[in-house]
Structure 1
């Protein structure tokens, strides 16, 4: 008899019914309880479901929508519990990682609940002073000479330098370009992004308050007038206190996670069954066993 010709056996509904029956039978084999388990729908659960809905839809749920939320929660809880009974979470990389993250979040929540004293943050600020440095800044003007358009850009720049000393207008000297003509309290990093690596450092060796040059960049030749240079300095604690708090919390998070792991790790002994040829690759701790196959 050709089973493929029997219409009933090709009915998808029958397939789903068979699958459902199989899952029910497996659940019975693995310890299904004759007494129904309780799923409690508490007021706090209702509030949580409604709050999640409102964050998504920017309005509270209607009575009908609230009922659907509860029904969906019950469905999810039933399937979740049954999946645990069947051991479906075992050896699932995604679930393992999510559970690890939840354990780590617990440690982070403990840190976030702590409000460190100002003295604690000040000590962290002093111990990590290199993190809270105000960058060096420079204010200057520049005149550009395009070495692709000029046969002797350096010579032209020197002639312009002499003209500036005689009172020539700097804003109309040089070639037109998209580069800024004037920088005000710009960090060295900002200057190098605009005019090329190393240009800002060239400015530091130039005298203040006069036109000098030529100075070379990745784009060509420049005359520069350095107005002001502010060296790198430590930021005042009050101005960076919020950043210090974030940095302190980040370090405390890491310390808490490591402490949590070390404490929990003491409750486990790891046995590594490895081949003798790769035994040295095993990262077992001294108290762990490394057994050769």
Structure 2
């Protein structure tokens, strides 16, 4: 018997038989695992916590049953969708996964506060970030192109001759935005009225009614009410903001470094 077991052919048959039965057992195990949904206590506690946050009360037994069914339903649909490859090359899913991975690699820990001398040195090298830009406050009279058509320039010229600080708010056409603005910087004004209008307002000199100035809405007669010049704050005045910007810049740099380390693990091949 021992000599028979030493024969290569017999060993091959025995090994093949063991592999056959072993593979069958493994397939049954995999199949069972594939169609088994294990809902543990931690998952139900998580679902209950979400329910309590959203509904501002603890879930009842009926609520827990509904949560369990919803979780099982979602898990079944996700598994079946993955089997069908529904997530392959889906832009929304890819972006969501990338977003979650980016969150995982980002450093959200509280960073150590910088040394005062280092922070001051960093401020000196990045002073331009903390400049408070020039700001201008103004009032304006609006003229609608739809209402005045080709006569709009003549109407504007006429308004300039009759406008005063007493009657200005009775002249012109209704306007969807404000007719007077507290001091505002040029970039903020661009967002409201367009780049051309903002530049023209910041080029104005004097406090008389001037114009017409064109915007995306139509023509405007404008009067400056206030001009606040650009300010370069000292380190002491900007101390809190400097540290906040330094922390965010340092954190972003560290996150980019970690992302670059991940990218460097891959060979990038681009078909020409």
TM bucket (normalised to shorter chain) is: 0.5 to 0.7
SS in 2 for 1:93: coil
State the TM-score, normalizing by the size of structure 1. 0.53
Taking the aligned partners of 1:40 and 1:46, their CA distance within structure 2 comes to 11
State the shift of 1:156 in Å: 6.1
Deviation (angstroms), 1:60: 2.1
Higher relative contact order by CA 8 Å / sep ≥ 6: 1 or 2? 2
One of 228, 231, 238 as aligned partner of 1:236? 238
Cα distance in 1 for residues equivalent to 2:67 and 2:143: 70
Moved more, 71-80 or 178-187: 71-80
TM-score (norm 2): 0.56
Structural mapping, 1:108-187, within 5 Å: 108=106, 111-112=107-108, 114-119=109-114, 122=119, 132-142=130-140, 148=151, 151=154, 153-154=156-157, 157=160, 159-160=161-162, 169-173=164-168, 175-178=171-174, 180-187=178-185
- CA 1:186 to 1:30, structure 2 compared with 1: closer, same or farther past 3 Å? same
Q: CA deviation at 1:193?
A: 5.5
1:32 matched to 2:28: yes
Matched residue, 1:227: 226
> Which of the residues 188, 196, 218 maps onto 1:198?
196
What is the aligned partner in structure 2 of residue 3 from structure 1? Answer: none
1:60 aligns with 58
2:260 maps to what in 1? Answer: 258
Question: Which whole-Å CA distance do the structure 2 matches of 1:102 and 1:195 have between them?
Answer: 38
CA shift in 2, pair 1:61/1:202, >3 Å = closer
Distance change (3 Å), C-alpha of 1:43 and 1:170: same
Q: CA deviation at 1:243?
A: 6.1
Q: CA RMSD in A?
A: 5.0
* Contact persistence 1:154–1:214 (CA under 8 A): no
Structure 1 residues 225 and 34 mapped into 2: Cα distance closer, same or farther (>3 Å)?
Answer: closer
After superposition, the C-alpha distances for 1:115-174 in whole angstroms (9 at most, x for unaligned) are 1123289577766655554342112344668883674744763x458xxxxxxx523158
Specify every segment of 5 or more residues in structure 2 that has no aligned partner in the other structure, as ranges.
Answer: 1-22
- What is the count of residue pairs matched by the alignment? 229
2:59 alignment partner, SS class = coil
Q: Does structure 2 retain, via aligned residues, the 8 Å contact 1:39–1:74?
A: yes
